[in-house]
Structure 1
């Protein structure tokens, strides 16, 4: 029975000790005054105050302790320490039952990994969670800094949720957004709302984006715009992936490229629209467009299902390659074939058509008449931005209309191994035929424009128009 009572006493003592440990304890003060306010036990300690609660140590200049509420108002040089965590503030309130400190007029949180500052701060020790508001700034003092209006920081996993005027500065990028989640351990930032990612060679804007810091990779969604800073080029789309170290980007969903070239005071702009587009910014810089491809460069227009744009290494001009049902227009000239290659400096200089080559040119005087030429291979040479000659090799055939002082005067139909049409003032001026030449002249009274058509004649009306991307 004696041992039974001893055990009961020990249990009571242990319970009292545990209860006492959960209460805020004032360990030292230069002066200590106790009083009762509205039935509440209140103790005011002043001068070199030291408190403890569980594994927390608190120091300040002055404290008012509400014993029953297990709360302490802290004033002057407040310092709260838990292991490697330190919180500094001009004043604060510590709630023992919730293991929480609230700093209403500014706080600085420090640990070996991070420094966090704001105008207002709350820290929940049981959750290792900081909620800071007003001019928030968090940094690891090495590789990143986040500023925002409000931020939640989970110390154990080093994960930050930032809201309002967010800016993240790291070694490889600067990110702006309305909201952002930053996971430092895996180097991933997920941003939403007015997103902007700046890096060495690109600026990306979108509604949503994820940035992979270790890979220097960005994935952007909705109203995407990528500015290529070194190429005077902008790409738009609904979805994009950008790989900074590889100088490679992929865009899909109403993709469009705007490429500007300025030389000797003249600016030439290339527009390419497609469902999908790839950008390769290493030399030689080039772009690959796929599905519903439309190209506009000055008066050069084209449609196709695949397009390749190679910029000249000089930065002026280049080559546009078209495949899969391509068609090119230049003023009143229409060109088609299996594949088309257009070479530029400022304006187009040469167009090469490989297989099933067909060109037709509408007459400016009689709009119902089209000069035509077809064959396996075709080369169109331009001089001063006008057709100089068209040469067709293999199975060549042509129809061109004759005029006498701008009055219709019949038509010529010719075939041969090679046909070369020379133009002057947008009309056929001379014809050379090589290899088995044959020709037929149709006087004006026998001209039937519906019958004078080569195999493959088709007037295309799907010319591309310039589109302003929505942002």
Structure 2
């Protein structure tokens, strides 16, 4: 093997046209040490010490490089920095193709642009598609939206403002101080419109404020401050259970301010344990339901369309009986988390409200337990899915 060594090489200029292509070939600007040899009929150049390449508008910096001249590829190691605005890559090792300008990056690669940072164990970038694929412990950090996507595999198409994360993905949203506002887990996560819309599918679990919500598909549009839950959604808040065919979680100033339920809605609510020593539940059902929150507590509930309520009546800790109300609309008002008053709105003849003293409430309790079982069965069914 024939070897040529050139030491203390500074300011070396190396320019050649890429074969069959109008773009500039990789050009060496600086290196402290250069040596070369023939390997299997190919010219190999070894460079070390403050290595600096240019190619058109791109800059490449590293500690060491092995350049395979005929195949137009270079292995970069050490503190690798590749600047090709708006992209910026750092890594411990990079294989770079001069012709396609694709690269494979290893050893804690980080790919940054004006919108986000992609971190992974391994990263492959395709210049023609302007697409990065990543594997290992991956994270996509949204610079302007304070959102982080984590998983085991990711695809990122910068020009389209699109990303997809697989492998037990987790979405985390934070406030301006870095405190966690929301976490979401799912089977797949997608980012659209440069982070203005997120879509998650599979076994979706959302945790925000005191609410845990579940569904088969979630759409989060940041501008509308709304989480749209589709495919058998249901939610829990403490020991309360809420469900419907569709569900929306409404946000304002980073807090949950409302929950809207559509079609076959139901809210199962635990009777205050300071009033009832036994575990008892009230129930609301209807076609549509709006739940308002203030300071992470329920302040008002409006039920519309075949509205029905079952609730226990207590005076201090003494059970006074049960009440069943039916109407076109039922409005419930709460103070400090406790039910303060109930209002039934209905056309003449379509409303009723019946109070059952304890000794006469057995039949109503059986009716309530049957309906509670139907509501709970949905949660069990969705957990099994």
Question: Aligning the two structures, in what range does the TM-score lie when normalised by the shorter sequence?
Answer: 0.7 to 0.9
For 1:281 and 1:27, the matched residues in 2 are separated by 63
Instruction: Please give the TM-score of this superposition, normalised by the length of structure 2.
Output: 0.74
Choose from 317, 332, 335 the match for 1:310. 332
Provide the rounded CA distance (Å) in 2 between the counterparts of 1:58 and 1:96: 12
Instruction: Find the partner of 2:231 among 214, 222, 234.
Output: 222
Shift of 1:20: 7.8
User: Which residue of structure 1 aligns with residue 222 of structure 2?
Assistant: 213
- Checking the alignment, whether the CA contact within 8 Å between 1:319 and 1:341 is kept in structure 2 is no
- The counterpart of 2:75, out of the listed 73, 76, 88, is 73
1:278 is aligned to: 290
Q: Deviations over 1:299-351 (max 9, x none)?
A: 858695745251443604743748589xxxxxxxxxxx631135xxxxxxxx4
**Displacement after TM superposition at 1:79 (Å):** 1.2
With a CA cutoff of 8 Å and minimum separation of 6, indicate the structure with the bigger relative contact order: 2
Unaligned runs of 5+ in 1: 1-13, 326-336, 343-350, 352-381, 389-425, 427-461
1:183–1:189 Cα contact (<8 Å) kept: yes
Is this contact kept in 1: 2:51–2:63, CA < 8 A? yes
* Alpha-carbon distance in 2 for matches of 1:15, 1:65: 16
CA-based RMSD: 3.5
Deviation string 1:82-110 (CA, Å, 9 cap, x unpaired) is 12422111111001232111013330123
Q: Does 1:127 align with 2:129?
A: yes
Say which one has the larger Rg: 1
Query: 1:234 — aligned with what?
Result: 241
Is residue 251 of structure 2 the alignment partner of residue 244 of structure 1? yes
> Contact 2:169–2:189 at 8 Å: present in 1 too?
yes
CA distance in 2, matches of 1:16, 1:91: 24
1:463 Cα offset (Å): 5.1
Please report the TM-score for the alignment, with normalisation by the length of structure 1.
0.61
Deviations 1:53-82 (A, max 9, x none): 333221212222222221111111111111
CA contact (8 A) 2:170 2:185 kept: yes
Equivalent in 29, 47, 57 of residue 49 of structure 2: 47
Per-residue deviation at 1:222? 1.3
State the 1:235 CA deviation. Answer: 0.9
Per-residue Cα deviation, 1:96-147 (whole angstroms, up to 9, x for no partner): 2321110133301233443221111122234332222211122244522222
3-state SS, counterpart of residue 247 of structure 1: strand
Aligned pair count reads 334
Work out whether 1:32 is the aligned partner of 2:34. yes
Report how far residue 387 of structure 1 moved.
6.3
The residue that corresponds to 1:261 in the other structure is 271
Q: How has the CA–CA distance of structure 1 residues 16 and 104 changed in structure 2, closer, same or farther, with 3 Å as cutoff? A: closer
Tell me the secondary structure at the aligned position of residue 25 of structure 2. coil
Supply the distance in 1 between the matched residues of 2:275 and 2:158 (Cα, whole angstroms).
56
